[in-house]
Each structure stands twice: as structure tokens, then as C-alpha cells.
Amino acid sequence: MSALWRIRYGVAMAEARRVALVTGGAIRVGAAIVRALAAAGYRVWIHYNRSAGPAEALARELGPGCAGVVQADLAISGERARLAEQVLAAGGLDLLVNSAASFERGKFEERGDADLERVLAVNLIAPLALVRALLPGLRRAEAGVVVNIVDLAAFHPWVGYADHCASKAALVMATRALAVELAPSPRVVGIAPGTVMWPEDDPRFADEGLRARITRAIPLGRIGRPEDVAQAVVFLAANSFINGVILPVDGGRLAAAAGEG
């Protein structure tokens, strides 16, 4: 293989790179998804709300694999629109990963309508609004894909997380509905991660006893890694005959819970 051929082939590949947008892509699972997509050949838009430093650091790490860094509060319709406009103005979009989410906790009787509306704005309305706004770009792609990140709360109630559970369950149904309505392009799929990282802002999870109980509920006997979710995103984006599914990435926890009783 000549050096000239390699240079020409490399340029052609760079020009043909697919483009992805990952919301909440600066930290934790979102950052793992960004890295995996860049490694798979995507140029990735990194969205963040308050994590400016990690977003910029990740962009520097990716180099040419970063399509851009964009800030937006997804709870605000105008900022969602601005995000979509910025991405579309730069060209096409092959993949949208709705990873950003809130994770609010509180007793049901102590929360109100405003709390529920705030959770729904980020966990349900924002993903649907971004799909709608980005449809022109996704449909210009040869085979556009949307991956919605839900979690096991969509299937099993968590005490103190009623708003979160309801929002994620709604996103599961929305994923299936869009998969039917928008077919053949974009395909719409979802991933339901189990425990792949311990929550940072809930002091209960610092308790080793609680961690041990959660781990015992996982048939594989361990928690996962953010990279497990990221690999699932790459797989679903690549398989052109998968549509409308919600893929658990949970070590078998959902299957085990279904067999209880």
C-alpha cells in the first residue's frame, strides 16, 4: 500500500465520517458514549449544561473526532432549539443520543407539580423535542438513528423517585411510538442501563451495605461500567435492522426481577 494511497484514503475517510450528537456528553456515561463513538469513526458533538470544564477537556482529548461543544439547558425550549439549529447549520447528523437526564429524589407527598414538570422537561420533553427539531438532518443521513438512554426505573419503581420513574417509562413508550411512526428513517431505539456507576450526589450510595445489596441483585455479581453502555450505543447504531427495541444493559438484573415471586 503506497503512502500516497494511504494519504488519499485517509482524507476520503475523514470527509465521510458520520456525525453524532450526545446530550449530557461531558461526564459519566455520556462521556463514555462520546469516546466510543469517536473511536468508531464518528465526529461527535458534545452537549453539556453546567459541565463546561469537562466538556472542553473531552473535546481536546478527541481532537478531530470532536464536531463541536455546545451548551444548552434542555429544560428550556429556546435553548433546545438553539442547540438543534447550531448542529444542523454545521451539516448533516447521523446519530442522536439522548443521554442527558435529571435524577431528582424526594418523597412523593413533599413534591409538587413544578417538580414533576421540571423532571419531565429534561427526561421526556427534551428528547422528543430534539428528535423533532433534528429530523431534517437525520433524514438527510443515509440511515439516521436515535438512541434514547432510559434506565431500569422505567420498568421497576424506585422509592423516592416517582417522578423519575414516570418520566423514563414515558420515554420507553415514546421510543417505541417513534420507531413505528418515523420508520424507515431514522430508526429509534433505547438502552436501559442498570448500575454502571454509583450516583455521586446521593449520600446513601456511599454505604457499602447498600452497594453490596444492589450488587447481589445482579446475576453477574458485579456492577457494570459506563463503557458497557457506550458499546451498546455503537452496536445499535450500526445494526440497520434493529428498531423500536429497549436493550437492557444491566447484568441480568431486569431478568432476575421478572422472576421474583
Give the highest mean pLDDT range of 48-57, 140-149, 196-205.
Answer: 48-57
Residues contacting 82, CB < 8 A, separation 6+: 72
- In the structure grid, which three cell numbers stand for residue 76, read together? 428550556
Residue 71 covered by a domain: yes
Residue with cell 476520503: 12
- Secondary structure (3-state) at 37: helix
pLDDT (tens digit, 9 = 90+) per residue, 166-177?
999 999 999 999
Answer yes or no: is 68 within a domain. yes
Instruction: Tell whether 145 is covered by a domain.
Output: yes
Q: What is the pLDDT of residue 11?
A: 37
Q: Look at residue 46 and tell me whether its pLDDT is greater than 70.
A: yes
In the chain, what are the helix, strand and coil shares in percent, each to the nearest 5? 55, 15, 35
What average pLDDT does range 9-17 have in this prediction? 47
Q: In this predicted structure, which of 183-192, 198-207, 208-217, 243-252 has the lowest mean pLDDT?
A: 198-207
Residue pair 192/154 in contact (Cβ under 8 Å)? The answer is: yes
Q: Identify whether 11 is part of a domain.
A: no
What pLDDT score does 1 carry? 35
Domain containing residue 76: CATH number: 3.40.50.720
Number of domain units in the chain: 1
What is d(CA 227, CA 28) in angstroms, rounded to the nearest whole number?
Answer: 10
Average pLDDT over residues 99-128: 96
DSSP string of 127-186, one letter each residue = HHHHHHHHHHHHHHSTT-EEEEE--GGGTS--TT-HHHHHHHHHHHHHHHHHHHHSTTSS
Give the range of the structural domain holding residue 50, as residue numbers without chain letter.
16-258
- Using the predicted structure, report yes or no on whether residue 185 has a pLDDT greater than 60: yes
Which among 202, 127, 197 has a CA at the least distance from the CA of 161?
A: 202
**pLDDT band for position 13 (50/70/90)?**
very low
What pLDDT is attached to residue 89? 96
Instruction: Let me know if residue 9 belongs to a domain.
Output: no
pLDDT-based confidence at residue 16 (cuts at 50, 70, 90): low
Adjacency order of strands within the sheet including 19-22 = 66-71, 43-48, 19-22, 95-98, 145-149, 187-193, 246-249
12-26, 44-58, 126-140, 202-216: the lowest-pLDDT one: 12-26
**8 has a pLDDT exceeding 50:** no
In a domain, 2, yes or no: no
pLDDT of residue 169: 98
- What pLDDT is stored for residue 201 in this prediction? 74
In a domain, 163, yes or no: yes
What is the pLDDT averaged over residues 188-209? 88
Residue 94 lies in a domain: yes
